[in-house]
C-alpha cells in the first residue's frame, strides 16, 4: 500500500467515526436522552423519539442538496449528479410530508451547522426536544 493510499484509507476511517449522525446521537445520549435508531417509520429518520413522535434527520449537505457551500455540484457527470441529487431532495420532501401526515414532528440537522457551529446546533436541537417534554435525564 502506498503512502498516499494509506492516508486516503485513514481519512476514510476517520470520517466514518465522526459521521454527523453518530456525533449527534452521542451528544444526546451523554445529555441523558434515550432515543431509537433504525426505527422503522417513513424515511427511516436517524434519531426517533417514538413516544413524543419526534423524528430527527441528520442530513449531509451534498446528498440532500442543501444549497450551502458544501453542496456543490460535481463538474464531471454533471447531468447524472443533478438528476440524482434533485431526486434526493424531492424524496426528502415526500418523506417530510408523509411523516407530517402521520403526526410526526420533524427536525433536520444539517451537516454544515454541525461543522461550523457545533455547540449552537446541538443546543438548538436539545432545546427543541426539551420543549417537547421528553427529557429523561434526572
Decide if residue 25 touches Zn ion (CB under 5 A). Answer: no
Shortest gap between Cβ of 72 and Zn ion (angstroms)?
11
**Burial zone of 114 (CB within 10 Å; 0-12 exposed, 13-18 middle, 19+ buried):** buried
Binding mask 81-100 for Zn ion (x = CB under 5 A): --------------------
Beta partners for residue 56, in sequence order: 47, 107
Residue 62 phi, psi dihedral angles, 5° rounding: -65, -55
- 57 interacts with Zn ion by CB under 5 A: no
Cα–chain center distance at 26: 13
* Among 24, 112, 121, 125, contact with Zn ion (rule: CB under 5 A): 112
Q: Which is nearer to Zn ion, 68 or 134 (CB)?
A: 68
User: What is the contact surface with Zn ion in residues (CB under 5 A)?
Assistant: 61, 66, 68, 110, 112
Amino acid at each position: 500500500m502506498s503512502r498516499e493510499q494509506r492516508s486516503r484509507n485513514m481519512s476514510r476511517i476517520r470520517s466514518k467515526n465522526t459521521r454527523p449522525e453518530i456525533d449527534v446521537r452521542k451528544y444526546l445520549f451523554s445529555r441523558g436522552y434515550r432515543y431509537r435508531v433504525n426505527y422503522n417509520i417513513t424515511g427511516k429518520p436517524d434519531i426517533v423519539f417514538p413516544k413524543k413522535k419526534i423524528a430527527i434527520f441528520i442530513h449531509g449537505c451534498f446528498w440532500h442538496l442543501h444549497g450551502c457551500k458544501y453542496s456543490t455540484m460535481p463538474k464531471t457527470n454533471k447531468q447524472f449528479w443533478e438528476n440524482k441529487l434533485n431526486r434526493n431532495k424531492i424524496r426528502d420532501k415526500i418523506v417530510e410530508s408523509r411523516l407530517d401526515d402521520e403526526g410526526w414532528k420533524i427536525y433536520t440537522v444539517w451537516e454544515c451547522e454541525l461543522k461550523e457551529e457545533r455547540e449552537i446546533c446541538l443546543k438548538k436541537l436539545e432545546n427543541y426536544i426539551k420543549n417537547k417534554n421528553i427529557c429523561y435525564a434526572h
